[in-house]
């Protein structure tokens, strides 16, 4: 435990020092919209059903979370989350066979409030038949300047074990570290701006999916190409910085804006832009709509078709490592009802959200279509996401 505390303190000093450098280039304070102010979360029980369907992959399952405060100083929580996966994605149908699996995630957490400071800890365990992950998360949130400014600092440590179906001896470890920083500033009574920064470092022998393969030109086979296992670097560091804003309109509605920049040591650079409109109706209903654009460049060691076997030390053909873009159009509605005559329950909220996503790939080709290697049509697909969320406050 002393070693853990030492790491946390060292991380805090390093991140705060970097914050001073970052803020020196800005004339305004920014903030992270997701950061906590010095108020404990409300006592509540949440039930979620999520459903994803796109690109031959279906993911669905429930999630249950329960949160309870103790003497207005401590809030404890527990969460149970299930993903049921059925995959016949383009990668699977062109190199292997369709499969189904289940991932179960369990987590416990605690928040401690002292004056204007909240300290939060969470531990998560996730398991599936060929992969397990353990992670611990620590966050500190502090209010300043009449509670108009909030500084948040976070650190996470993850321990993954990568396996392979039907190969008991195939086991590799991967460690992950995450550093987070956010500054929250209320500009006026109607507007908020934000800056958040995050650094993630990964290290391990298998940072890639062990089932994926690259393809290379091979005139000796009928298709014109053969497959070889992917090989990724053993380390990866990424930085992400986001600016967010919210403006409250005179008729109780709000507009949210976000711009995010991502870059990593594998050569991937990505940009995200989104706009969301939130509109209340009477006292019970809230409707929202959002539009999100995402674009990324390929990794340095990615190629849809390599010239020969062992062309590079590192090689990837995972479409997530390629050049692609996506557009998301989302809608949501929530209904909130006060329970005045209930003794133990205060209110409930029902929320339904629907997202439609279009993915377009610039250098990943659809091998389901027979053609001269390298001339197959570029791949694209649509995905739909449904989330039904029910919260009961007590």
pLDDT tens for residues 330-356? 999 999 999 988 888 999 999 999 999
Alpha-carbon distance values, 360 to 306, 324, 327, 356 (Å)? 21, 6, 9, 14
User: Kind and range of the H or E element at 99?
Assistant: strand 99-114
End-to-end CA distance of the chain: 35
Is 8 a residue whose pLDDT tops 80? no
pLDDT of the residue at 37: 52
> Architecture of 2-393 per CATH?
Beta Barrel (2.40)
Lowest-confidence region among 69-78, 89-98, 107-116, 129-138: 89-98
* Predicted local distance difference test score (pLDDT) of residue 34: 40
What confidence score (pLDDT) does residue 31 get? 31
Tokens encoding 152: 């948040």
How confident is the model over 213-235, as a mean pLDDT? Answer: 96
Q: What was the pLDDT predicted at 1?
A: 40
The CA R_g of the chain, rounded to the nearest whole Å, is 23
- In what helix (H) or strand (E) does residue 256 lie, and over which residues does it extend? strand 254-264
Q: Smallest Cα–Cα separation from 139: which of 37, 64, 236? A: 37
Predicted TM-score (pTM) of this structure:
0.86
CA distance 58 to 89: 9
How does strand 74-87 pair with strand 99-114?
antiparallel
Separation in Å, CA 372 to CA 92, 223, 229 = 21, 8, 22
Closest CA to 270 of 249, 293, 291: 293
Give the contacts of 330 (CB within 8 A, at least 6 positions apart).
288, 289, 290, 291, 292, 353, 354, 355, 356
Classify 95 as helix, strand or coil: helix
Q: Which residues of 105-120 are buried (b: 16+ CB within 10 A; e: fewer)?
A: bebebebebeeeebeb
Residue 117, CB half-sphere, CA atoms under 13 Å: how many? Answer: 5
Identify the three-state secondary structure at position 73: coil
pLDDT tens for 261-281 read: 999 999 999 999 999 999 999
Q: Where are the domains of the chain?
A: 2-393
Q: Do 120 and 109 form a contact (C-beta atoms < 8 A)?
A: yes
């Amino acid at each position: 435990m002393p070693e853990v505390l030492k790491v946390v303190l060292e991380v805090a000093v390093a991140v705060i020092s970097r914050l001073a450098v970052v803020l020196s280039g800005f004339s305004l304070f920014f903030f992270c919209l997701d950061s906590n102010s010095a108020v404990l979360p409300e006592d509540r029980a949440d039930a979620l059903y999520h459903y994803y369907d796109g690109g031959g992959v279906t993911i669905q399952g429930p999630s249950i979370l329960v949160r309870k405060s103790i003497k207005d100083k401590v809030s404890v929580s527990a969460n149970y989350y299930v993903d049921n996966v059925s995959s016949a994605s383009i990668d699977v149908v062109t190199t292997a066979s369709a499969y189904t699996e289940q991932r179960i995630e369990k987590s416990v957490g605690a928040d401690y409030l002292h004056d204007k400071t909240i300290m939060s800890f969470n531990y998560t365990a996730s398991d599936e038949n060929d992969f397990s992950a353990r992670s611990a998360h620590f966050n500190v949130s502090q209010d300043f300047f009449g509670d108009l400014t909030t500084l948040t600092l976070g650190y996470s440590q993850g321990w993954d074990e990568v396996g392979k179906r039907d190969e008991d001896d195939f086991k590799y470890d991967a460690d992950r570290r995450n550093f987070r920083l956010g500054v929250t500033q209320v500009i006026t009574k109607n507007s908020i701006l934000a800056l958040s920064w995050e650094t993630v470092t990964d290290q391990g022998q298998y940072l890639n999916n062990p089932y994926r393969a690259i393809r290379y030109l091979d005139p000796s086979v009928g298709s014109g190409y053969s497959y070889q296992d992917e090989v990724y670097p053993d380390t990866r560091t990424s930085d992400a910085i986001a600016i967010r804003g919210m403006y409250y309109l005179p008729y109780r509605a709000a507009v949210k804006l976000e711009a995010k920049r991502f870059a990593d040591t594998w050569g991937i650079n990505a940009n995200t832009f989104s706009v969301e409109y939130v509109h209340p109706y009477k006292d019970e209903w809230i409707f929202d709509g959002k539009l999100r654009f995402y674009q990324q460049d390929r990794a340095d060691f990615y190629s849809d078709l390599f010239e020969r076997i062992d062309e590079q030390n590192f090689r990837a053909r995972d479409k997530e490592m390629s050049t692609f873009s996506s557009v998301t159009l989302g809608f949501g509605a929530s209904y909130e009802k006060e329970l005045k005559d209930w003794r133990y329950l205060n209110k409930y909220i029902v929320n339904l959200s629907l997202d439609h996503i279009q993915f377009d790939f610039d250098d990943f080709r659809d091998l389901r279509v027979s053609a001269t290697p390298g001339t197959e049509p570029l791949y694209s697909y649509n995905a739909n996401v449904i989330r039904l969320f029910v919260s009961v406050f007590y």
